[in-house]
Amino acid sequence: MGQEIHACHFSEQDQARFESALVAETRLARTLFQQGGFARTGMTAGYELEAWLLDRNFYPKPCNQRFLQALASPLVVPELSRFNIELNGLPQPLTERGLSHMAQALAETWTACAHTAHGDGGSVLAIGTLPTLREVDLNLASMTPASRYRALNERVLRARGGRPLTLKIDGLTQLDTTHRDVMLEAGTTSFQLHLQAPAQHMHRYLNAATLLSGPLIALSANSPFLFGQALWHETRIPLFEQAVSCGDDDAGHRVTFGHGYVGPDVTELFDDNLSRYPVLLPLCSNAPLDDFAHLRLHNGTVWRWNRLLIGWDAQQQPHLRLEQRVMPAGPSLIDMWANAAFFYGAVHMLATQPLPPERLVPFDTARTNFYTAAREGLQATQTWLDGKVWSAQDLLTQLLPLAREGLNRLGIAAADIDRYLDVLALRLRTGQNGAAWQLAHHARHHDLFKLTADYLAHQRSGAPVHEWPL
């Protein structure tokens, strides 16, 4: 969905032509995999950070077109709403100073964004859900003027037979509302990590990422408030899953944890997309089959929390990579890179163990871990490889040495390993991640505007969240 399209309305002929091309490209992807045509070397990382533009009163500021024009950076692009932006960085080899190079690049882009927002009388903020967001802010007038977003809205509502979207979240309080467009999705912002691994091992990395999703979301939770209510520690999860729902059946649930671990031929996920999900945006392309234009567009409208992507390296060889979508934006830049270090180190260790860990934890258990952690954060229970039930906080403390060993094996610089994992050790010792800080702050002050103002000040300070006072 990141690519612009040039149509909002599609004919039956468009649908038929797109589906035919999708079948051919899906078949080609499987053939290419079986023939060893995807890159079989290298570990490369990348990221995307979604963020909010705020006005002086800490409300969303729908000005991303003016902001992007003033910023003039190819690394920062629009998102669904006019008050969201996305920051990108160049991929880096996942070795030596790769993590700190990405962190430095993001810091430079973030500083430029902050200066640009300040020049327009506003601020830029990285947080999973914005405490001051009102449901009235999520309207079509706030949609970024791009054909892909208008088409997405039209096609989702068409798939629903015109019925409004229903949002029900039962957490610390209860939220039950309806919305007449897909702008609910704009209430969620994330820090997405990419990992390119050798194609023949990609299934191990995808399964390891799936298994880690519960602990990872407990570690990084930063989205407890929506429309003024305290809900889940990571309210992004149920919000996004319901924001683009095309119906109540399995095919309608396009934001999903998945349906099982993947086998050695990971391109079966593209077959699953083809058979399970109707085409949402049948924009036909004249590109050659091996550009996978239709497959990539269709894949972009199925939002697994751990998603398989096709890309191309500097030598224009196609590669496979996973997109880990679990973590929210924020609280601070150092917190996000500490989370990233944990993910990359732990996923590498799990993916390279002689006994695949997915054989020890059933997929349904991994899914339960994920939603329990999203609901309860660091205090959630997690069933792990040893069959024991842990609190997420205790489990993560036990997993830090695993992540450290994984980073060592990747060749990450020792100073970077210490810097990032020491931040996590202190976060786990204090039990204060972003969600815990927000909930404690609100319990003390009962003021979501003060919460947002203090959060912004702490984020600007650069201090990790475990050091934030209330």
DSSP codes of every residue in 99-130: HHHHHHHHHHHHHHHHHHHHHTT-EEE--SS-
> pLDDT value at position 42?
84
Q: Is the pLDDT of residue 8 over 80?
A: no
Residue 432: which pLDDT band, with cuts at 50, 70 and 90? very high
> pLDDT value at position 3?
56
> pLDDT value at position 315?
83
Least confident of 243-257, 404-418, 424-438, 440-454: 243-257
For residues 300 and 6, the model is more confident at 300
Q: Is the pLDDT of residue 6 over 70?
A: no
Average pLDDT, the chain: 96
Residue 23 CA from chain centroid, whole number:
27
Mean pLDDT of 209-237: 98
> pLDDT value at position 59?
98
Q: Is the pLDDT of residue 9 over 80?
A: no
What 3-state DSSP class applies to 218? helix
> pLDDT value at position 2?
52
Least confident of 92-101, 242-251, 440-449: 242-251
- pLDDT above 90 covers what percent of the chain? 95
Residues ≥6 apart with Cβ < 8 Å to 384: 361, 390, 395
CA distance to 25, 30, 273, 286, 382, per residue, from 292 (Å): 6, 12, 14, 11, 38
Exposed e or buried b for every residue in 423-438, given b needs 16+ CB within 10 A? bbeebbeeebbbbbbb
> pLDDT value at position 314?
80
Q: Is the pLDDT of residue 196 over 90?
A: yes
- pLDDT per residue over 165-177, tens digit each? 999 999 999 999 9
Mean pLDDT of 171-195: 97
